[in-house]
Copies of this chain bind each other. A is one copy, B any other.
Amino acid sequence: MSREDRPDGFVDALARGLAVLSAFDGALPGMTLSEIARRADLSPATARRSLITLVSLGYVGRSGRRFHLRPRVLSLGSTFAISSHLGAILRPELSALVARFGGGAAAGTLDGNAVICLEHQATPVSARVIGANGTYHPATGTAIGRTLLSGFTAEQLETWFDQLAGPDPRPLTYDLPVDRRAMRTRIKPIRQRGYEVNPGRGPGTLCGIAVPILDLDRQVIAALNSIDETGATSEQLVDERLAELTATAARISRQLVRVPMLTELLRPVPASIFNS
């Protein structure tokens, strides 16, 4: 968020600390102060003060010159899963999909320019390759992401594309540059058709089929996918899985709308997509 957009009372020190927590990546053994500072776009002195605090509070550990996240960071996300009742609703449904089709199954929603994984389940074989809850995935490059975008009006979609090009969502962006016209054409029919397929691109890649989860107003508030590990074609995925996936999405939707706040907190509002 640019400095001018910050509301009165905004606490820079808190934003910087969260940027430092978000700067940790998948590499072990940890990162040095200068690596963290660079990734968080902070001066080393500023990043150092955040790290001192995070180490004191038990969120970050230190081993020599390198810093790493500690298990306590998991607690920050866990309250969401509980308070939202989402885990309790999604887990049994995703497990049942995995029991039937193998591979993996996940539910996600749009968070800024990316899809955030709300919950996932997978067979022991697939569990190694499918991301954890809370991981980000490209929005335009995944079936689940394009399904979520299909819930936008034409105008909302253009606003979303505009913001995609801005400097702000940097931490979440790892989509390739988007051919806006091609993507528009691809996304438009998904809402009508009711599903989207991502064909795997060559050996070892995963393909999947995604369907929307709707609220009472038939707004897309999340999407659900089934990920294949057999190398099935797109046509086979649709034939085998679409009916079951659609029925699962309808059951999840009926459970979500019983708790109105749940649909509220999942709804991707274009106006607030980028922290506005």
Contact = CB atoms under 8 A, between A and B. Distances in A.
Nearest to A55: B7
A48 interface: yes
A112 B9 CA distance: 32
Interface in A35-52: 48-50, 52
A91 B262 contact: no
B132 A14 contact: no
Contact of A127 (B22, B70, B92, B122): B92
A30 interface: yes
Contact of A134 (B11, B77, B125, B135): B77
A21 B59 CA distance: 13
A44 to B, nearest CB: 12
B69 A11 contact: no
Interface residues of A, number: 88
Interface stretch (A78-86, A152-160, A187-195, A225-233): A78-86
Interface in A50-90: 50, 52-54, 56-59, 61, 63, 66, 68-85, 87-88
A101 interface: no
Interface of A: 1, 6-11, 13-18, 21-22, 24-30, 48-50, 52-54, 56-59, 61, 63, 66, 68-85, 87-88, 91-93, 95-96, 99, 109, 111-112, 116-118, 122-125, 127-128, 131-136, 259-262, 264-266, 272, 275
25 contacts: A1-B56, A7-B56, A8-B52, A9-B53, A10-B49, A11-B50, A11-B53, A13-B13, A13-B17, A14-B14, A17-B17, A22-B79, A29-B259, A30-B261, A61-B264, A73-B77, A73-B79, A73-B80, A74-B117, A78-B131, A78-B135, A81-B132, A87-B127, A95-B122, A133-B133
